């Protein structure tokens, strides 16, 4: 029996990186693999260059803050265009020092996506050619999409909570 693309990708990853895989799931029928952060560049390079996988399009890269776990995830979505198959990879970094190597050497499009993730979540992409804020002002001292910051000024007196369903 021939394996489908998802099963074959998983088989190849397990053969080469089984010690890096933490969890496998398929929310919304999208293969999602949680990995150790140490070898994320090697895993992505493998998925890019392996003749059977050919995930050569970076769909997205973004940060996700998990305040209850005190960590930030970096999520990568890759696409194999010839067979129209996608895969999601997640790594988890400690909030005190969210740092991981850049993948700009594999995908030049990661440049802006990593800068955005740095800007909003504070993730340091070591080796990035120009890691600076992309949307917020340079002298901003916070990373605004972390859930540790309130959504609004708690000192405001000009609003009536009943208008907002509170």
pLDDT of 111 higher than 90: yes
Q: What is the pLDDT of residues 3-31, one digit of tens each?
A: 688 899 999 999 999 999 999 999 999 99
As a whole number, mean pLDDT of residues 21-43 equals: 96
Domains of the chain: total: 1
Of 64, 20, 59, 60, the residue nearest 39 (C-alpha): 20
Tell me if 91 sits within 8 A of 39, measured CB to CB: no
Q: CA torsion angle for 166, 65, 115, 43 (degrees, to 10)?
A: -150
pLDDT recorded at residue 5: 84
DSSP class per residue in 92-147? EEETTS-EEE--TTT-TTHHHHHHHHHHHH--EEET-TT-S-SSS-TT--S-TTST
Q: 3-state DSSP call for residue 28?
A: helix
Residue 151 sits in which domain range? Answer: 5-164
As a whole number, mean pLDDT of residues 78-89 equals: 96
Residue 23: left if φ>0, alpha if ψ -120 to 50, beta else—which one? beta
Domain at 117, CATH number: 3.30.460.80
Global pTM reads 0.88
pLDDT of 130 higher than 70: yes
């Amino acid at each position: 029996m021939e394996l489908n693309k998802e099963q074959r990708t998983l088989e190849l990853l397990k053969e080469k990186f089984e010690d890096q895989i933490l969890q496998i799931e398929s929310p919304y029928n999208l293969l999602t693999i949680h990995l150790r952060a140490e070898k994320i560049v090697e895993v992505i390079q493998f998925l890019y260059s392996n003749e059977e996988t050919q995930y050569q399009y970076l769909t997205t890269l973004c940060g996700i803050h998990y305040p209850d776990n005190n960590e930030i995830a970096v999520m990568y979505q890759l696409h194999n265009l010839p067979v129209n198959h996608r895969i999601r990879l997640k790594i988890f970094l400690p909030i005190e020092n969210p740092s991981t190597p850049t993948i700009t050497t594999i995908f030049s499009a990661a440049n802006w996506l990593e800068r955005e993730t740095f800007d909003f979540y504070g993730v340091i992409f070591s080796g990035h050619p120009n890691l600076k804020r992309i949307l917020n002002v340079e002298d901003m001292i916070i990373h605004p999409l972390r859930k540790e910051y309130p959504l609004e000024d708690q000192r405001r007196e000009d609003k009536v909570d009943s208008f907002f369903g509170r």
